[in-house]
A and B are shown apart, each in its own frame.
Chain A
Amino acid sequence: EPEVTQTPSHQVTQMGQEVILRCVPISNHLYFYWYRQILGQKVEFLVSFYNNEISEKSEIFDDQFSVERPDGSNFTLKIRSTKLEDSAMYFCASHREGQPQHFGDGTRLSIL
């Protein structure tokens, strides 16, 4: 069964540095998402992406964040200048029209 894949599984970055989290959604899916889960808290929506543009973004998704689909397979989340509070598990998800979302394994981002 096809899966959403995310790399890296764990990213350690110095505060203030840029980080790019990568996702490969399932190939025939058209809707893409990023969520994050701070340790001990619930999974929170960050952004949704469809037809090569952002459909919706949350209050968390400020100017430090951006998403891109640079080619036909990858979907990336970039954090320009990381802060300590960006430390979290970041999940990518994708789905077809009307179908449930499928999640990747997540990337654990640790900001030092």
Chain B
Amino acid sequence: AQRVTQPEKLLSVFKGAPVELKCNYSYSGSPELFWYVQYSRQRLQLLLRHISRESIKGFTADLNKGETSFHLKKPFAQEEDSAMYYCALRGATNKLIFGTGTLLAVQP
């Protein structure tokens, strides 16, 4: 079965603290993994894709095939990082399978 799991509904941290948003997946083939972010009342925006291996807004994510994980990390959280974060998987048919999302709240 194809599935994406984000175990935390809410993650609250203080400004300057490290952040790790967890994502685990289940897929029989070689998936492509993404992180999308949704700021308040805005559209889903692509944050990262695993094949590009880049850092966007200080966020990074590494695909760990052994642990079937694609956790999102940032060493120092900023207040403007507060948003809903969705991990998503794309398989052979191009559709995206989303996790339930994690609301990141960065406190001043």
Contact = CB atoms under 8 A, between A and B. Distances in A.
Interface of A: 3-4, 31, 33, 35, 41-45, 48, 55-56, 91, 93, 95, 100-106
Given A43-B86, A100-B34, A100-B49, A105 B43 contact: yes
Interface of B: 34, 36, 42-46, 49, 86, 93-101
Contacts of B86: 42-43
A35 B94 contact: no
11 contacts: A31-B94, A41-B100, A42-B98, A45-B96, A48-B95, A91-B43, A95-B94, A100-B34, A103-B36, A103-B43, A106-B43
A35 B44 CA distance: 12
Nearest to A105: B43
Contacts of A3: 43
A48 B34 contact: no
A103 B95 contact: no
A17 B18 CA distance: 49
